[in-house]
């Protein structure tokens, strides 16, 4: 059964489909965000948004979805779909240019190193961790390299994957106001 993801709009399904098939449509981000927030079936989504448009627009859509903390697991789900689509498109000779990642901050790098060291100490491969998180190995690689700006929810999932508790400590800064 298909979810009525347009329940709170006056838009008909054929109108929504027309908007979602045109990534340049100014209403595309709004309706793509609604669709991704409400539908967890890639088959349904990719019938409405073609794979290349999804991959080109995902970084922007991801930022929009991340504003709602209730969608954290949904963002991880669609991030995994995005990563898999990039691989599939690349295999077909279609390259989607990824937005440049910001430089890794010292704090992000320190966290990335902690995750990598813990994984290695526990004898897990990146693929093992990816399986436990429900993501692809490349995402774990991004976590461990500091290229991924990790949310608190993601850190909790990583801790759970290692059978650990998540503890966050705020250390005193060497700067004083």
- Counting residues of the chain whose pLDDT is more than 70, the rounded percentage is 92
HSE, side-chain direction, 13 A CA sphere, residue 145: 12
Burial letters 107-136, b for 16+ CB under 10 A, else e: ebeebbeebbebbeeeebebeebbebbebb
Which residue segments constitute the domains of the chain, with CATH numbers given?
13-91 (no CATH), 106-161 (1.10.260.40)
Query: Measured between alpha carbons, how far is 59 from 70 in angstroms, rounded to an integer?
Result: 18
Structure tokens at 2: 């298909």
Query: Measured between alpha carbons, how far is 34 from 6 in angstroms, rounded to an integer?
Result: 8
DSSP 21: T
Structure tokens at 103: 């430089």
Determine the 3-state secondary structure of 154 from DSSP. helix
Summary mean pLDDT of the chain: 87
* CB count in 10 Å sphere of residue 159: 15
Q: Which residues contact 27 (CB under 8 A, 6 or more apart)?
A: 19
First vs last C-alpha separation in the chain: 58
Predicted local confidence at residue 98, as pLDDT = 61
Query: Measured between alpha carbons, how far is 49 from 108 in angstroms, rounded to an integer?
Result: 33
Residue with the two structure tokens 């599939």: 88
Whether pLDDT at 176 is above 70: no
Whether pLDDT at 9 is above 70: yes
DSSP string of 40-79, one letter each residue = --HHHHHHHS-HHHHHHHHHHHHHHHHTSGGGHHHHHHHH
Q: How confident is the model at residue 2 (pLDDT cuts 50, 70, 90)?
A: low
Determine the 3-state secondary structure of 103 from DSSP. coil
pLDDT in tens, 46-65: 999 999 999 999 999 999 99
Q: Which residues contact 155 (CB under 8 A, 6 or more apart)?
A: 111, 166
Q: Which residue has the higher pLDDT, 135 or 39?
A: 39
pLDDT in tens, 83-129: 999 999 999 998 887 655 556 788 888 899 999 999 999 999 999 99
């Amino acid at each position: 059964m298909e979810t009525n993801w347009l329940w709170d709009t006056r838009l008909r399904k054929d109108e929504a489909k027309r908007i979602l098939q045109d990534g340049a449509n100014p209403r595309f981000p709004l309706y793509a965000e609604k669709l991704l927030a409400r539908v967890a079936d890639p088959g349904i989504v990719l019938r409405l948004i073609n794979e290349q448009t999804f991959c080109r627009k995902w970084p922007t859509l991801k930022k929009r979805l991340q504003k709602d903390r209730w969608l954290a697991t949904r963002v991880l789900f669609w991030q995994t779909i995005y990563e898999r689509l990039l691989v599939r498109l690349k295999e077909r000779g279609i390259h989607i240019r990824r937005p440049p990642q910001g430089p890794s901050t010292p704090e992000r790098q320190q966290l990335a190193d902690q995750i990598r060291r813990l994984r290695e100490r526990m004898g897990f491969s990146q693929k093992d961790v990816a399986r436990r998180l429900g993501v692809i190995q490349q995402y774990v690689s991004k976590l461990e390299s500091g290229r991924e700006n990790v949310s608190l929810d993601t850190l909790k999932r990583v801790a759970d994957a290692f059978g650990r508790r998540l503890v966050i400590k705020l250390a005193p800064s060497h700067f004083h106001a």
